[in-house]
Chains A and B, each alone.
Chain A
Amino acid sequence: MTDFYQSGIITTLHQLGRPSLERLEGELLEHARTRPISLVLPALYSEFEGPAMPRIIEELTKVKYLHQIVLVLGRASDKEFQKARQFMAPIPYPVKIIHNEGKRVREIYETIKRNGLDPGEDGKGRSAWLAYGYVLAEGHSYAIVLHDCDIVTYSRQMLGRLCYPVVNPNLDYVFCKGFYSRVAGKMHGRVTRLLVTPLVRSLQFLRGEHRFLKFLDSFRYPLAGEFCMTTDMARVNRIPWDWGLEVGSLAEVYRNYSPRRVCQVDIAETYEHKHQALSAEDPEKGLMKMTVDICKSIFRTLASEGAVFSDGLFKSLAVTYLRQAEDTIMKYEADAAINGLEFDRHEEAKAVEAFTRAIGMAAQVFMENPMASPLIPNWNRVTSAIPGVLDMLRKAVDEDNR
């Protein structure tokens, strides 16, 4: 059980005591009658063969308040697409699987590209964006909830708690992000603990108070991949296709909505999913790639808010960050010690060194080309260029699922 402290400029919804899942789902069923919910699942076919997906499917079969599931299947052949359909067959409400490698969906991407819009590279960002397009085309959902498909400790309580603040008309939040502790014998979530938070605080220290940095710092787990939002938001928000997906999405939420209508919710006591290797020597892989993309996303957002970056500022940032991160390591070491958790201080220090290098690389890339943006255009922009694109997408998905 956590404390009940409200931090930052957004609302934090804690898990206090042991709230009844039956009550939560009962209320959601009632609210979903007027505010239908679509669940978006970006998945790779390989995840169907792992331990997480069977559990997720089993849990989802028990959910009664969802309007539909839209699963975007990546890296799958036609045969694997059919197998995925069989996997999802036990779910007793509509399930649409978007065959990302299928000829119809490929043609949708081609159509968008030839009209001068860039749907970005293959990945979670583009998959989520495409799924939002389908939900918008279908036109019956009020809210979209999204979570990953590699959560080994998945329970339907996560889903319910994510949806509740958005679909409950008395709360009426437009965006709700999940948070949880990534602890399984040791603390995980290195990028959040040792990069994002120290970096954001270093920038605040150097630049003074900034509302976007304050907004970002308000999130307990800004890199969590689980969130719920209104479909209106899915229409206007742009989505990054690179690893800056989570931070870039938060930047779009910040840009388009008041923080008063944004909240974060404690969705799980434990959370376990696949871990990325650090790849400290290769900035094109693993956590290093993720780190560079996240830093670029933060720099770009701040620049678009009027912040001026210079070589001097980046040099100071590297030093300030390093100090902040080292202090953070000490805090987590103490936290691990009191909780009897394994803590490898050397590994953590190596990660910080790698992240410092990544900040330098991101700074260099940003200074060379500050205009480069990995954002996929929002659906309003796409439909203004190609008026029939949502109908085409809907037709493509429906035909694939026929």
Chain B
Amino acid sequence: MEQFLRLILAPLGEVFGRFREFAPNLLAAMTIILAGILLARLVKWTVLRFLKVVKFDSWSDRMGLTAVMRKGDLWARPSDALGSFVFWVLTIMFLMAGLSALNVPAIETLVAHFFLYLPRAFSTLLILVFGYILAGFIGRAVLIAAVNSGYHYAKLLAEAVRVLLTVLILAMALEQLQVAPSIVVAAFSITFGGIVIALAISFGVGGIEAARRMIEKEQEKKEPKDIEHL
């Protein structure tokens, strides 16, 4: 009977012993996560106050960032969205740090990967935001220049430039995230190269006559005239 009880209690004791070893890690993980959530809330509040002071929402409306959010059917204030983004990034970071405190090898590898990936995600975000602003700016500049030159398809041209730049920016972002980089680069090269070749061919075919006239005009200028007019 005593042996039977020992057979039952020994594994239980072992489990308890392992739990006793693991409990401080668990407590540390929970503390990190809870403290992280509180800190994330505090940072969110601070970020929101700061964004309000610098009138970020208004800036975002003027720069077209709000319009991008609306296109994606996001109807929160830009500052609220950014505040929530900061909150969740911090929360996830602290969650990862908390999980790391558990000292479980598999989770530690995952956490290491996550933290290595963070800089890439951050630079992707920067590429997307500044790229969008730049594409909008260049598109608008092309529109103004084309309209002032009396170009008939000014809006179409500006939109085409904006779309091409957006494609370029998206390709850069995907490449930065290392999402199937070889496919992304190949797809981008084919698409972008195809568009450029198509434009070159259409311009070349459509502009043969114009080019001929221009060359002939240049040649006429160079050749000395037989008759000099008074």
The interface of chain A, by Cβ under 8 A from chain B, is 103-104, 107, 110-111, 114-116, 385-389, 391-392, 395-396, 399
Contact B62 A387 (CB under 8 A): yes
> Is B131 at the interface (CB under 8 A from chain A)?
no
Interface residues on B, range: 10 to 19
The answer for the CA separation of A116 and B75 in the assembled complex, in Å, is 20
Contact A388 B75 (CB under 8 A): no
Q: Known contacts being A111-B66, A388-B66, A388-B67, is A395 close to B73, with CB within 8 Å?
A: yes
Chosen A-B contacts, 17 in total, with CB atoms closer than 8 Å, are A103-B75, A110-B77, A114-B57, A385-B61, A386-B61, A386-B62, A386-B66, A387-B64, A387-B67, A388-B64, A388-B70, A389-B61, A391-B67, A391-B70, A391-B71, A395-B70, A395-B73
Residues of A within 8 A of B75 (CB): 103-104, 107, 396
Contact B64 A115 (CB under 8 A): no
20 additional A-B pairs beyond A386-B62, A387-B67, beta carbons within 8 Å, are: A103-B75, A107-B75, A107-B77, A110-B77, A111-B57, A111-B61, A114-B57, A114-B58, A115-B58, A385-B61, A385-B62, A387-B62, A388-B66, A388-B70, A391-B67, A391-B71, A392-B66, A395-B70, A396-B70, A396-B75
User: 9 tightest A-B contacts by CB?
Assistant: A388-B67, A392-B70, A386-B61, A107-B75, A395-B70, A388-B64, A104-B75, A115-B58, A114-B57
Residues of A within 8 A of B61 (CB): 111, 114-115, 385-386, 388-389
Encode contact with A along B47-68: 1 for CB under 8 Å, 0 otherwise. 0000000000110011010110
The answer for the CA separation of A93 and B111 in the assembled complex, in Å, is 56
The answer for the CA separation of A114 and B80 in the assembled complex, in Å, is 14
The answer for the CA separation of A107 and B57 in the assembled complex, in Å, is 12
CB of A5, distance to nearest CB on chain B (Å):
48
List CB contacts (< 8 Å) of B91-127 with chain A: none
CB of B200, distance to nearest CB on chain A (Å):
32
Residues of B within 8 A of A103 (CB): 75
Residues of A within 8 A of B67 (CB): 387-388, 391-392
The answer for the CA separation of A104 and B73 in the assembled complex, in Å, is 9
Encode contact with A along B158-199: 1 for CB under 8 Å, 0 otherwise. 000000000000000000000000000000000000000000
The answer for the CA separation of A114 and B57 in the assembled complex, in Å, is 8
CB of A391, distance to nearest CB on chain B (Å):
6
CB of B17, distance to nearest CB on chain A (Å):
55
CB of B37, distance to nearest CB on chain A (Å):
27
- The residue in chain B whose Cβ has the minimal distance to the Cβ of A102 is B75
- The residue in chain A whose Cβ has the minimal distance to the Cβ of B140 is A387
The answer for the CA separation of A389 and B64 in the assembled complex, in Å, is 9
Residues of A within 8 A of B57 (CB): 111, 114
The answer for the CA separation of A396 and B67 in the assembled complex, in Å, is 11
The answer for the CA separation of A3 and B112 in the assembled complex, in Å, is 89
The answer for the CA separation of A114 and B58 in the assembled complex, in Å, is 6
CB of A402, distance to nearest CB on chain B (Å):
10
With a 10 A CB-CB cut-off, give which of A104, A107, A385, A399 has the most chain B CB atoms. Answer: A107
The answer for the CA separation of A340 and B58 in the assembled complex, in Å, is 62
Residues of B within 8 A of A114 (CB): 57-58, 61
- The residue in chain B whose Cβ has the minimal distance to the Cβ of A116 is B58
- The residue in chain B whose Cβ has the minimal distance to the Cβ of A390 is B67
CB of B113, distance to nearest CB on chain A (Å):
37
